[in-house]
Amino acid sequence: MRAPPNVFRHGLPLLAKELIEQAARRRTYIVRLLYAVLLQLFGFLLASDMLRGLSNNPWGVLGQGG
């Protein structure tokens, strides 16, 4: 795995090395997975709250601003 060339051009080779090493760790993937699941759950909760009124009146959501 290689770092983007612009990282080396700006004089940040140690940062690039650390990022490459961190990306290879299993813990990084677990943290990313948990973050993605929580973000999707949060989005689902927001959407379900906004769409809750559709069971009574499907046209009720039209014209509502965010």
- CA dist list (Å): 27 to 16, 22, 32, 65: 18, 9, 9, 41
- pLDDT, tens digit, for every residue of 7-66? 556 678 888 888 888 878 888 888 889 999 999 999 999 888 777 766 677 676 676 665
Q: Is the residue at 36 inside a domain? A: yes
For the chain, the domain total comes to 1
Q: Is the residue at 55 inside a domain? A: no
Q: What is the pLDDT of residue 35?
A: 95
Per the confidence metrics, is the pTM higher than 0.75? no
Tell me the H-state helices in 1-66.
Answer: 5-9, 13-23, 26-50
Q: Is the residue at 27 inside a domain? A: yes
Q: Whole-angstrom Cα distance, residue 61 to residue 55?
A: 11
